[in-house]
Each structure stands twice: as C-alpha cells, then as structure tokens.
C-alpha cells in the first residue's frame, strides 16, 4: 500500500535499514523504517489519511511517525537529498538520493533498501555489498568517518556483532580503535551512551557483548576506572544466573543499574559521582553502592553458612533489586538458592495481627523509634518461624 501511495504523490518509497537486514536473515522485525525520495512529511500526511493512521511529524528532521490503532508504528523519513552540486548542474537523480541516504548509515548490513512502488516492488537496492557481508557475517562501516560522525556506532558495532554472531571486519576495527583513541566517545552525551548500553543489555547475548566491549577497550572509554578482570567477569556470570530468578521477587528492576553495580565496584566516591552525573544515575544509586560494598562480604558468608534469615535481615534488610543482584554476584549456585529463599521470605512475610498503632494503644507507648524497633524484632521472629503467635511474641518482647 505504501508503494501505491508513493505513486499517488509521485515519490519513490523504500523500506530500509534493520527491517531489510532482518528480512534477509529470516528474522521477524516489526520496526518499519521508510525512506521517501521527495517530501517525507507530505507523503506521511497523505499515507496517514488513506490508511486512517495518526501522523506525528518531526518537522526539524523531515521525518514523521504513523501510529495505527493496534499499536503498530511506521517511521517515515525523507531521503537526504544532496542539493545542486554546482549552480548550473542538475540535481542528483532519484537513485543517487537513496544511495546517498544509505551511504550515511552505520554499517553495510544496515544499508540496504527495498523499493515499494508497484512497478519496482520488492527490488533490493544493495550498493555496498551489504548482502555479501550479511552472508559472511561481517560488520563493516561504509566509510572511514562513520564512527567520527556518530561515535555511538562504536557500541552499536558490538551489539550487532554479538547479536548475530558476526565479526567486525579488520579495517573497521582499526578505524574503531582510532576513533576511540581520538576521544570521540567522550564527546558524546552520557544519555546517548547510556541508551546504547541499555540496548545492549536487552540483547540475549548481552554478557558476551560486555566482554567484547572490554576486549576492544571500549569499556574504558565509557567507565574510565573499570578494569575488566576475570574476577569481574565471574561476578557478572553469577549475576546473570540470578537474573532468571529475580522476576519472581521484583516486578521491576533496572538491568543497567544492576550491571553497573559490578562494573563500578570500588570506585572512589568522587569518580562514582562523576560517572553518575554523566549517565544520569540517581544519587540513591551512589549511596546504595557504597553501602552494599561494605556489607557484601559479611552477607555472603552468612548466606554460605546458612544463618538464620533474621540474622541476615539485621544486616541486609529488604534489599533493592540492584543490591540483591549485587549480592548475587558474589554467590555460587547453591548459595544463590538460599539467598533466593531469603528474599522471598522477606518480601512475603507480613505481620497480620500486630501493627505499630496496636502496640501504641495496647501498651500506651508514644510514637517514636522504639515502635519501629519493637515491630522490627517481631518481624525478625516471624521470618524465622512463620507459625509464631504474634500477640504472645509481642508480649515477650515488651517485657
């Protein structure tokens, strides 16, 4: 349909980028990126009217999104037309327009287009041996300045490499290293880097990608005081193992913050604050990191010795998901099992008969820290033995 609408407004229309790549790989991809040779906004407006979709324009970038009722979305961009090269010369013809648009992209595998207009429907535009690279499993930039133009591509290269089990081509890797050493990644805003790391963490192969970031020395340019050692790697392996269980206990957890707990371990406070500022990490993260670094060894030992939950609770309390993950990084499988039981117990246990108010009324105690202390003690008793009689136990504590 989009191709027909293209004909209606006299514009060549292509589907481009990741969609084409995945189509050729036989992978489902619902991210449809359309490029139009002509006025993308005008096309989007026309197409939206015909299909009955909602159109949101981003005029500054000459792009628009179409939103369908079922949540589906299509992004439409205008091929970046090169204007007149010399005043007297004709402008670039259509085909070079899409070619130039594709040439500006990150890697050959992402730089193919398929035409959608009816007469040429389904024709693949492959100007840069993209298909060959896709077949051979190669990540290759289209030109030497690709990483300088957009240094986040350094991280993207690793993401695609690890996602598809490809490898970064030799010259591309050299250019990547040169760009890194030129300090270009440091020039990018923290939030863009963070977005790329978060995208890596959504990948199935994210642990491998972290290793690769370390191997290519990229990690150093993101977190300058991180030394990726075998010990750190082992901690991440443990943590990744624990991720599978985490969803049972916590509805939401932030994988980025969890992984950072290990990557930023033992940073001095100022360096940690600096990284936190750069990547928009909340103050609470810094405080919790410092706290959990202090308690992790004793807690690990308590878990290993299978001490009472109440004893562990007195040191660890109800940890945030990130702190729980951090502790898990120090635990072998068996100990993770016990830790998981602990977390479940701590989050499921509730005092049913006794509340702070009850204690105040019954014993005539004024509100204050003492009430918290009493409640805490009672809670600890219940952690160790769910069958306790709360009223009876409270009586004992008060005495």
Residue nearest to ligand CTP (CB): 18
Measured CA to CA, the distance from residue 41 to residue 103 in angstroms comes to 22
Q: Does the protein bind ligand CTP through residue 115 (CB under 6 A)?
A: no
Of the listed pieces 102-110, 120-128, 278-286, 341-349, which binds ligand CTP according to CB under 6 A? 102-110
Which span (120-128, 145-153, 175-183, 385-393) binds ligand CTP, by CB under 6 A? 145-153
% helix / strand / coil in the chain, to the nearest 5? Answer: 60, 10, 30
**How many positions of this chain bind ligand CTP (CB under 6 A)?**
12
Question: Distance between CA 101 and CA 19 in Å, rounded?
Answer: 16
**Residues 399, 390: Cα–Cα separation, whole Å:** 14
Of residues 11 and 112, the one with the C-beta less far from ligand CTP: 112
Q: Is the Cβ of residue 18 or residue 356 nearer to ligand CTP in the bound state?
A: 18
- Contacting ligand CTP (CB under 6 A), which of 3, 6, 17, 40? 17
Closest CA to 17 of 3, 33, 2, 28: 33
* 138 or 359: CB nearest ligand CTP: 138
Q: Is 196 in the site for ligand CTP (CB under 6 A)?
A: no
Neighbours of 93 (CB within 10 A): 9
Cα separations in angstroms, 31 against 22, 90, 104: 10, 35, 19
- Which residues, 6 or more positions from 389, have their beta carbon under 8 angstroms from its beta carbon? none
| Residue 18 in contact with ligand CTP, rule: CB under 6 A | yes
End-to-end CA distance of the chain: 80
Q: How far is CA 92 from CA 17, 103, 147, in A?
A: 22, 14, 26
Q: Tell which positions 27-46 bind ligand CTP, by CB under 6 A.
A: 31, 33
Q: Is 105 in the site for ligand CTP (CB under 6 A)?
A: yes
Give dist(CA 7, CA 143) in Å, integer. Answer: 33
Residue 364 sits at φ, ψ, to 5 deg, of 60, 35
Give min distance, CB of 175 to ligand CTP, in A: 15
Two tokens, residue 312: 């562990």
**Least CB distance to ligand CTP at residue 152 (A):** 5
Q: Which stretch binds ligand CTP (CB under 6 A): 78-86, 104-112, 261-269, 382-390?
A: 104-112
CA distance 125 to 99: 8
Nearer to ligand CTP, 23 or 308 (CB): 23
98 or 375: CB nearest ligand CTP: 98
Closest approach of ligand CTP to the CB of residue 91, in Å: 23
Query: Least distance from C-beta 107 to ligand CTP, angstroms?
Result: 7
Is-contact 288 320, C-beta < 8 A? yes
d(CA 219, CA 44) in angstroms, rounded, equals: 40
- Choosing from 153, 255, 261, 381, the residue that interacts with ligand CTP (CB under 6 A) is 153
Q: Which is nearer to ligand CTP, 150 or 274 (CB)?
A: 150
Q: Does 162 bind ligand CTP (CB under 6 A)?
A: no
Among residues 78, 110, 206, 292, the one that binds ligand CTP under rule CB under 6 A: 110
Rule CB under 6 A: which residues touch ligand CTP? Answer: 17-18, 31, 33, 105-106, 110-111, 150, 152-153, 156
């Amino acid at each position: 349909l989009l191709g027909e609408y293209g004909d209606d407004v006299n514009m060549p229309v292509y589907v481009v980028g990741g969609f084409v790549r995945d189509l050729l790989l036989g992978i489902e991809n619902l991210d449809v990126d359309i490029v139009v040779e002509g006025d993308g906004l005008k096309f989007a407006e026309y197409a939206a009217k015909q299909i009955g979709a909602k159109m949101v324009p981003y005029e500054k970038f000459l792009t628009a999104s179409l939103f369908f009722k079922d949540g589906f979305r299509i992004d439409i961009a205008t091929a970046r037309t090169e204007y007149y090269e010399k005043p007297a010369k004709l402008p670039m013809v259509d085909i070079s327009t899409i070619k130039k648009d594709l040439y500006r992209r990150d890697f050959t595998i992402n730089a193919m287009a398929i035409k959608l207009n009816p007469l040429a429907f389904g024709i693949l535009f492959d100007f840069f041996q993209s298909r060959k690279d896709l077949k051979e499993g190669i990540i290759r930039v289209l030109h030497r300045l690709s990483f300088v133009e957009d240094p986040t591509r350094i991280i993207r290269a690793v993401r695609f490499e690890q996602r598809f089990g490809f490898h970064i081509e030799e010259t591309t890797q050299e250019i990547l290293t040169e760009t890194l050493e030129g300090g270009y990644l440091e020039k990018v805003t923290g939030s863009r880097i963070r977005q790329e790391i978060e995208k890596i963490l959504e990948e199935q192969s994210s642990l491998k990608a972290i290793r690769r970031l370390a191997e290519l020395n990229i990690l150093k340019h993101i977190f300058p005081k991180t030394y990726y050692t075998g010990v750190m790697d082992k901690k991440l392996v443990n943590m990744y193992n624990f991720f599978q269980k985490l969803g049972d206990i916590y509805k939401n957890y932030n994988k980025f913050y969890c992984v950072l707990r290990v990557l930023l371990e033992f940073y001095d406070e100022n360096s940690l604050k600096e990284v936190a500022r750069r990547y928009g990490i909340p103050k609470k993260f810094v405080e919790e990191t410092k706290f959990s670094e202090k308690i992790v060894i004793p807690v690990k030992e308590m878990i290993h010795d299978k001490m009472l939950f109440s004893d562990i609770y007195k040191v660890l309390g109800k940890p945030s998901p990130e702190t729980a993950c951090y502790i898990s990084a120090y635990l072998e499988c068996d100990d993770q099992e016990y830790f998981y039981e602990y977390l479940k117990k701590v989050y499921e246990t509730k005092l049913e008969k006794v509340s702070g108010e009850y204690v105040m009324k019954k014993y005539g105690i004024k509100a204050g820290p003492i009430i918290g202390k009493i409640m805490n003690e009672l809670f600890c008793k219940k952690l160790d033995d769910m069958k306790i009689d709360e009223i009876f136990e409270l009586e004992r504590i008060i005495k």
